[in-house]
């Protein structure tokens, strides 16, 4: 018994917006994506689903398939301010996987398996300290506040 | 004088790693080494933490097998409290571990490994992945995703909507279940059995055409280790340790896990942060052992449920004594999914799970404790020392991937010997594909400490005896 091909969930089960924050909360700023997702979940806005995850794994494609819009939230050392970038499904090069899927690759998997492609953005939040057990850096704390403002504007 | 071929990093496994293949003076493969270059440092990080927090902390080590650390940690805590865990709590922990086995094995088989043998070893890497599989067989990719979802659903129904549930605690669990929860789990079972059968049928067809892979992908004598029940039955959470040899003979049996250090020593490699445990009485070479699905099916006398036992009988036709080819890890994984589903089916009708008493209370009664659980990848040890206030003073973790380290090295060397022409310094694409798959047979989990936005290419380097890089190949 296999789920029907390209299932389109009823409107009542769809998320208008999915916020998917990921990272490792044991490693200082690396966990800020999860913290942001938890903040959004606490807002309890109808039609908005927030998930906090360690990393992006294939079964999340099923969640993406139920959403109209998706915002991936992650930390990065390579930026000094919060950046919002559109994400499109990765082409065939998405196949060179590392330890987990990238947002573009997860989007591609959603498209090919479930036949739906939500509009997607990646919210990249600067981090400074990724050492085990570190508290959030001031840079990350400022970034979290700004990231939450950006998400709230899209509700 | 030796030369080294370096493959760095291995894709589609947890964490980052590289592989060095050493050639001898005649240009033939002499040995291989699987390096882990990231320092995780969790053992030091845990020192000073309260015992009660350890399950929640260690569950956050890994995004792929958090439940394994959660349960091993809780069991180490049980030993320090010196309590007997209530029946309901023990069964609920087992139910969560079965969910973990299902979701982890489903990811390994359907998404990480199946593309290699279903799309063809020599298919371009850009297509030989879960996307290529999904494009050709979307129904299979979707079924695999839903099977993994089922395992995750069990974990979330028991532990809450968190990827790292701090649900199991020393003495038991924080919350129980009700009929509605068990009904939700029950409703998934028919589809999950059907998907697993699809995987089994598919892989049996693969076996008919993959004699060379069965022969060369880690097919060598070794010992095997795993937990078994009192009658030698398949275990995943309780039980005691059993070691067997490649002839299928029992070498050690019903060993109390807390005495593991009398039988297991750890070799430290200067080139890797991954420790290499071995059976102490035989040394690192003859004492190399394997853990995980292949080992668990080799050490157990029976699985104890009808569908899985029927598959076990067929599985054992691939060995004389023990099944020694690591390519058969895939088959063992599918059989373990069947075993897990059959046990889940029993638990959803077990009224013990509905009992109110789910946690035993006690203070610090011992200053040392060992917790052992079977993670999807193999036996996981958590060993803790605490002070009289229950603060951790020392921690030792032996993870499943570590147990398999020596076997992975030997597997890579065996594959390299089969595919590198003596005297050649080329790194042919077929070799890369097969070496990567040889490692993936073990489904290693090196859980990354951080992650970067973007992708990391596969980098292959050929290094001269003096360390000069002779050739570099990058794969996006």
Lowest mean pLDDT among B6-20, B78-92, B166-180, B328-342: B6-20
Q: Cβ of A98 and B453 within 8 Å?
A: no
Contact A2 B9 (CB under 8 A): no
Cross-strand bridge partners of residue B276 = B267
B46 at A interface, C-beta within 8 A: no
The mean of the pLDDT values for chain A is 84
Alpha helices in B317-397 (DSSP H): 329-347
pLDDT at B13: 41
Residue B365 has pLDDT above 80, yes or no: yes
With CB atoms and an 8 Å threshold, state whether B131 touches A112.
yes
Tokens of B402: 């570590």
Name the helix (H) or strand (E) containing A1.
none
- B5 pLDDT tier (thresholds 50, 70, 90): low
The pTM assigned to this predicted structure is 0.89
d(CA A38, CA A25) in angstroms, rounded, equals 12
Q: How far apart are CA B296 and CA B95, in angstroms?
A: 18
Beta partners for A50?
A: A19
Read off the pLDDT of residues B117-141 as tens digits, 9 standing for 90 and up. Answer: 888 877 877 777 788 888 888 899 8
Asked if A26's CB is within 8 angstroms of B64's CB, the reply is no
B15-24, B275-284, B395-404: range with lowest mean pLDDT: B15-24
Locate tokens 């050649």: which residue? B424
User: Is A11's pLDDT higher than 50?
Assistant: no
pLDDT at B466: 61
CB contact under 8 A, A2 and B145: no
CA distance linking residue B354 with residue B180, whole number of Å: 11
With tokens 């999950």, the residue in question is B192
The region of weakest confidence among B18-32, B315-329, B338-352 is: B18-32
Integer-rounded Cα Rg, in Å, for chain B is 22
Could you please report the per-residue DSSP string of B292-324?
A: SHHHHHHH-S--SSHHHHHHHHHHGGGSBSB--
- The whole-number pLDDT of residue A8 equals 44
Q: Which of B436, B417, B421 is nearest to B475 (CA)?
A: B436
User: What is the distance between the terminal CA atoms of chain A, rounded to a whole angstrom?
Assistant: 37
Exposure class string for B55-73: b at 16+ Cβ within 10 A, else e: bbbbbbbbbbbbbbbbbbb
Average pLDDT over residues B419-431: 78
The verdict on B49 touching A (C-beta cutoff 8 Å) is no
B142 lies within 8 A of chain A by CB = yes
Q: How far is Cα B20 from Cα B37, in angstroms, rounded to an integer?
A: 12
Q: How far apart are CA B123 and CA B132, in angstroms?
A: 10
Tens digits of per-residue pLDDT, B188-236?
999 999 999 999 999 999 999 999 889 989 999 999 999 999 999 999 9
Q: How far apart are CA B195 and CA B147, in angstroms?
A: 7
What's the confidence (pLDDT) of residue A134?
85
Give me B196's structure tokens.
């697993």
Tokens 């069965």 — which residue? B214
Is B160 strand, coil or helix? coil
How far is the C-alpha of B126 from the C-alpha of B8, rounded, in Å?
A: 17
Q: Which residue has the tokens 């095997």?
A: B224
- Which residue of B61, B107, B455 is in closest CB contact with A58? B107
Q: How confident is the model at residue B40 (pLDDT cuts 50, 70, 90)?
A: low
Q: What is the mean pLDDT of residues B8-20?
A: 51
pLDDT of residue B450: 36
Q: How far is B346 from chain A (nearest CA, A)?
A: 21
Interface of B with A in 428-467 (CB under 8 A): 446-458
pLDDT at residue A149, as a whole number = 98
**What residues form DSSP beta bridges with A120?**
A70, A87
Query: The sheet that has B223-228: what strands, in order across it?
Result: B250-255, B240-244, B223-228, B289-290
B34, B56 contact by CB (below 8 A) = no
User: CA B450, CA B448: separation in Å to the nearest integer?
Assistant: 6
**Mean pLDDT within B417-436:** 79
Number of cross-chain residue pairs from A and B with Cβ atoms under 8 Å apart:
156
Mean pLDDT for all residues in chain B: 86
d(CA A7, CA A78): 38
- Which residue among B41, B135, B162 places its CB closest to the CB of A132? B41
Give B-chain residues touching A52 at CB under 8 angstroms.
162-163
Which stretch, B96-105, B422-431, B444-453, has highest mean pLDDT? B96-105
DSSP E strands, B312-438: 368-375, 378-386, 392-398
Contacts A98 to B, Cβ<8 Å: 9, 11-12, 16, 451, 455-456
> What is the helix (H) or strand (E) element at residue A112, kind and residue range?
helix A103-114
pLDDT above 70 as % of chain B: 86
Asked if pLDDT for residue B281 goes beyond 60, the answer is yes
Give the three-class secondary structure for A152.
helix
Chain A contacts in chain B segment 184-223 (CB below 8 A): 190-191, 194-195
Which residues have C-beta within 8 Å of that of residue B205, sequence separation ≥ 6?
Answer: none
B264-275: b (≥16 Cβ within 10 Å) or e = bbbeebeebbbb
Q: What is the pLDDT of residue B11?
A: 40
Q: Do B11 and A97 touch (CB under 8 A)?
A: yes
B57 in contact with A at a CB cutoff of 8 Å? yes
Contacts of A128 in chain B (CB under 8 A): none
Q: What is the mean pLDDT of residues B355-373?
A: 96
Contact B144 A58 (CB under 8 A): yes
Find residue B279's DSSP bridge partners: B264
Worst-scoring range by mean pLDDT, B19-28, B92-101, B215-224, B279-288? Answer: B19-28
Q: State the best of A98, A125, A143 to mutate against chain B, taking most chain B CBs within 10 Å.
A: A98
Strand order in B368-375's β-sheet?
A: B368-375, B378-386, B392-398
C-beta of residue B165 within 8 angstroms of C-beta of residue B120:
no
Q: Is the CB of A111 inside 8 Å of chain B's CB atoms? A: no
Q: What is the mean pLDDT of residues A102-129?
A: 91
In the prediction, which pLDDT does B475 show?
52
Say what the pLDDT of residue B36 is: 61
3-state helix, strand, coil in chain B (%, to 5): 45, 20, 35
pLDDT per residue as tens digits for the range B160-191: 865 556 899 999 999 999 999 999 999 999 99
By CA distance, what is B135's nearest residue in A? Answer: A112
Interchain CB distance below 8 Å, B134 and A2: no
Question: Where residue A95 falls among pLDDT bands split at 50, 70, 90?
Answer: very low
The whole-number pLDDT of residue B171 equals 97
Give the DSSP H or E segment for B419: helix B405-419
Task: Please check the confidence at residue B17 and state whether its pLDDT lies above 70.
Answer: no
- The larger pLDDT score, comparing residue A153 to residue A78, is at A153
Q: Give the model's pLDDT for residue B74.
A: 97
- Nearest to B407, CA basis, from B213, B215, B222: B222
Chain A CB within 8 Å of residue B248 CB:
no
Cβ pair A99:B195 closer than 8 A: no
Kindly identify which residue of chain A lies nearest to residue B47, measuring between CA atoms.
A133
Q: Are B216 and B204 in contact (CB under 8 A)?
A: no
- Cβ-in-10-Å burial (0-12, 13-18, 19+) of A81 comes to exposed
């Amino acid at each position: 018994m296999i789920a029907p091909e390209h299932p389109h969930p009823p409107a009542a089960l769809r998320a208008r917006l999915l916020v998917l924050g990921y990272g490792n909360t044991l490693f200082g700023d690396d966990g800020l994506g999860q913290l942001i997702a938890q903040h959004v979940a606490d807002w309890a806005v109808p039609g908005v689903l927030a998930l906090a995850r360690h990393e992006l794994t294939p079964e999340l494609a099923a969640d993406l398939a139920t959403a109209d819009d998706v915002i991936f939230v992650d930390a990065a050392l390579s930026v000094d301010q919060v950046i919002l970038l559109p994400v499109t499904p990765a082409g065939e090069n998405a196949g060179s996987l590392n330890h987990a899927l990238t947002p573009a690759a997860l989007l591609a998997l959603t498209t090919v398996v479930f036949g739906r492609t939500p509009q997607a953005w990646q919210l990249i939040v600067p981090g400074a300290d990724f050492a085990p057990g570190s508290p959030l850096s001031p840079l990350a704390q400022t970034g979290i506040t700004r990231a939450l403002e950006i998400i709230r504007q899209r509700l | 004088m030796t030369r080294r071929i370096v493959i760095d990093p291995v894709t589609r496994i947890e964490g980052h790693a590289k592989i060095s293949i050493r050639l001898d003076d005649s240009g033939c493969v002499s040995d291989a080494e699987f390096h882990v270059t990231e320092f995780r440092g969790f053992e030091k990080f845990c020192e000073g933490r309260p015992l009660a927090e350890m399950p929640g902390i260690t569950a956050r080590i890994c995004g792929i097998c958090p439940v394994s650390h959660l349960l091993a940690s809780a069991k180490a805590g049980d030993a320090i409290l010196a309590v007997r865990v209530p029946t309901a709590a023990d069964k609920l922990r087992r139910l969560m571990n079965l969910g973990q086995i299902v979701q982890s094995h489903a990811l390994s088989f359907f998404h990480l490994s199946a593309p290699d043998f279903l799309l063809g070893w020599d298919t371009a890497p850009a297509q030989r992945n879960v996307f290529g599989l999904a494009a050709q067989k979307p129904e299979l990719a979707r079924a695999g995703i839903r099977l993994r979802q089922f395992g995750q659903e069990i974990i979330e129904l028991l532990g809450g909507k968190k990827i790292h549930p701090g649900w199991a605690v020393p003495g038991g669990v924080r919350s129980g279940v009700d009929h509605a929860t068990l009904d939700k789990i029950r409703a998934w079972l028919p589809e999950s059995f059907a998907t697993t059968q699809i995987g089994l049928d598919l892989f049996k067809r693969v076996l008919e055409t993959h004699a060379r892979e069965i022969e060369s992908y880690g097919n060598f004598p070794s010992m095997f280790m795993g937990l078994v029940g009192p009658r030698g039955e398949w275990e995943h959470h309780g039980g005691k340790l059993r070691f067997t040899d490649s002839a299928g003979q029992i070498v050690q049996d019903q060993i109390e896990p807390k005495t593991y250090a009398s039988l297991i020593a750890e070799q430290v490699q200067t080139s890797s942060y991954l420790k290499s445990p071995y059976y102490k009485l035989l040394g690192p070479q003859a004492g190399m052992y394997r853990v995980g699905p292949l080992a668990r099916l080799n050490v157990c006398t029976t699985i104890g449920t009808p569908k899985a036992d029927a598959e076990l009988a067929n599985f054992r036709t691939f060995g004389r004594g023990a099944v020694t080819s690591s390519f058969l890890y895939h088959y063992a994984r599918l059989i373990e999914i069947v075993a897990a589903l059959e046990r889940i089916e029993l638990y959803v009708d077990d009224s013990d799970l509905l009992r109110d008493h789910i946690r035993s209370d006690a203070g610090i009664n011992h200053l040392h404790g060992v917790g052992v659980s079977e993670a999807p990848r193999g036996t996981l040890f958590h060993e803790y020392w605490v002070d009289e206030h229950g603060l951790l003073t020392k921690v030792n973790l032996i993870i499943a991937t570590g147990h398999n380290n020596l076997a992975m090295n030997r597997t890579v060397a065996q594959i390299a010997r089969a595919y590198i022409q003596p005297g050649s310094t080329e790194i042919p694409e077929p070799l890369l594909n097969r070496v990567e798959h040889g490692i993936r047979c073990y489904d290693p989990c090196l859980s990354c400490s951080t992650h970067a936005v973007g992708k990391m290419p596969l980098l292959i380097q050929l290094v001269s005896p003096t360390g000069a890089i002779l050739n570099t190949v990058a794969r996006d």
